[in-house]
Amino acid sequence: MSTRPISLAPEVAQALKNGDPVVALESTIISHGMPYPENVESALRSEQTIRTHGAVPATVGILGGRLRIGLTAGEIDHFGQNSGIPKASRRDLPHLLAAGGDGATTVATTMIGAAMAGIRLFATGGIGGVHRGAQQSFDISADLLELAATDVAVVCAGAKSILDIPLTLEVLETHGVPVLGYRTDAFPAFYTRESGCGVDVRLDAPEQVARLLHSKWAAGLAGGVVIANPIPEAFALDSAYIEDMIEQALFACAQQGITGKRVTPFLLAHLHEHTGNKSLAANKQLVYHNCAVAADIAAAYAALCAKL
Whether 26 is a known active-site residue: answer yes
Residue 160 annotated as catalytic: yes
Angle between helices 263-274 and 239-255 (to 10 degrees): 130
N-to-C CA span, the chain = 29
Active-site choice (75, 87, 160, 284): 160
Distance CA 71, CA 13 (A): 12
Q: Which of 26, 47, 75, 146 is catalytic?
A: 26
Burial string for 203-223 (b: 16+ CB within 10 Å, else e) reads beebbbbbebbbebbeeeeeb
Identify residue 12 by its one-letter amino acid code: V
Q: Which residues are known catalytic residues?
A: 26, 160
